[in-house]
Amino acid sequence: MIKKQLVVEQGWNFDNSYAKLPNTFYTSLNPTQVASPKLVIFNDALAAELGLNQQELEGKVGAEIFAGNIIPEGAAPLAQAYAGHQFGHFTRLGDGRAHLLGEHISPSGKRYDIQLKGSGRTPYSRGGDGRAVLGPMLREYIISEAMHALGIPTTRSLAVVTTGEEVIRETILPGAVLTRVAASHIRVGTFQYAAAWCSEDELRKLADYTIQRHYPELEGESESNRYRRLLQTVIQRQAELIAKWMQIGFIHGVMNTDNMTISGETIDYGPCAFMDIYDPATVFSSIDRDGRYAYGNQPYIGGWNLARFAETLLPLLHADENKAVEIAQDEISKFNELFSQNWTKGMRAKLGLYREETGDEALIEGILSLMKKHRADFTNTFRSLTYNLQSEAMFGSSDFGKWHEQWQTRLEKQQESKQDVQRLMRSVNPVVIPRNHRVEEALEAATNGDYNVMMKLLNVLTRPYEYIANHDEYCQLPAPSARPYQTFCGT
């Protein structure tokens, strides 16, 4: 244990409200020590936001903390229990290779989970080694920080350390630990665990804790309405989140119920990827053989997951089971419309449309149909429309010309100037995204000891909505030889 004064200098301000829940929801234990931790990347901007002392944490002590060798004063490490539907199959899960150090309170008063991922075995490891390898941990760092820059609610990455130990997967790979920062790690799967293996009183305590932590405005609601409002709010958050994913071409890849947060943050960047050529059937994950989590299926799966959440709340929604089911069904039935509203609103903005008019949905569907027909790149199409570039072959086609004329006619109907239209489009159409081949290029170099490629990529991704000419190389599609691209979960 390090001296308390040093902890204060580092800026840690731990509290542990989750540990006050019944201990059926977690197991208290420390991470497994590692041989020789080395800090390979540290998020200075996030550290500053958290009120941490970057200088103190960028040295050897920081590496020891982020590896789990040193437990900061005030932290109370634990592994969380949860369950989940994984590709539709329900199972008991939990943090099999992660430890929640505690909840850090920032200078602004915000509460953040500080979690180590890849920090050793827990009672929930199910035969796993509890470890992570360098490539997937750096991948989560890159993608989560890119998502943050894109304005998508997300967990974030504070640091990655190598452990000085080897991990056996298909081959022998360098071990690593990621420090993840989240509003919380309460998931739909946490509620599924409570509903399946805990008492109704414990389920209620989890629900009340979740409301207090994430939605305190609901505490004033009557008990008969409080949990319904919780369900409503989570449904709204997820409808907004999934629409935002799809408006930037993001495919989560593993939308299991244990990977859906109650806070509405994106979590778990294993088999995720960004779509290049537009096709709703696009799948990247090597384990998603049937396309369950394809790009176009994400709204359906989101609604399915939320229905599982609603099922867990039935005992709290009403004492009469039939009435509880009726309430749950009524709220879940609203998801599709909520998603549709968020999707259409976001896509309207991508086309520079300020207000809703009849025919907007047909205009949106028109450009998407053309993109699919002509195998156009999703991001570059909207980038080109925003900056009047001619990057896609389809722009020379007659059917695109007809659509473009309809779009211009629609724009002329609104009172906003061309400058206003472009300002709106620039704010929602990214110029650069974490192109899959660029991410792989960075990870390959880093695994071989060269972090320069990754650092350059991260620098580009911090300003995704700025058009910078010398960033054009990051907008290019992969060579045909690099397709089809596949992602892997990293476990």
Give the 3-state secondary structure of 366-394. Answer: HHHHHHHHHCCEHHHHHHHHHHCCCCCHH
Residues whose CB falls within 8 Å of the CB of residue 158, separated by 6 or more in sequence, listed in order: 42, 43, 46, 47, 50, 66, 114, 179, 180, 181
Is the peptide bond preceding residue 484 cis, with omega within 30 degrees of 0?
yes
How far is it, in rounded angstroms, from Cα 307 to Cα 309?
Answer: 5
Cβ-contact 79, 94 below 8 angstroms = yes
Q: What is the crossing angle of helices 298-312 and 321-332, to 10°?
A: 160
Cα separation, 445 vs 285, whole angstroms: 22
**Distance between terminal CA atoms of the chain?**
30
Task: Tell me whether residue 397 is exposed, middle or buried, using C-beta atoms within 10 angstroms of its C-beta: 0 to 12, 13 to 18, 19 or more.
Answer: middle
Active site residue 113: no
SS3 89: strand
Are 79 and 29 contacting, i.e. CB atoms less than 8 angstroms apart?
Answer: yes
Distance CA 17, CA 448 (A): 41
Residues whose CB falls within 8 Å of the CB of residue 75, separated by 6 or more in sequence, listed in order: 12, 14, 16, 101, 102, 114
Structural contact between residues 426 and 418, judged by C-beta atoms closer than 8 angstroms? no
Q: Which of 95, 113, 208, 258 is catalytic?
A: 258
What the block records as the tokens of 367 is 């450009």
Interatomic CA distance for residues 94 and 209, integer angstroms: 19
87 burial (CB, 10 Å; 0-12 / 13-18 / 19+) is middle
Inter-residue contact 103 to 114 (CB < 8 Å): yes
Q: In 166-205, which positions are buried (b, 16+ CB within 10 angstroms) versus exposed (e)?
A: ebeeeeebbbbbbbbbbbbbbbbbbbbbbbeebeeebbbb
Question: Among all residues, which ones are annotated catalytic?
Answer: 258
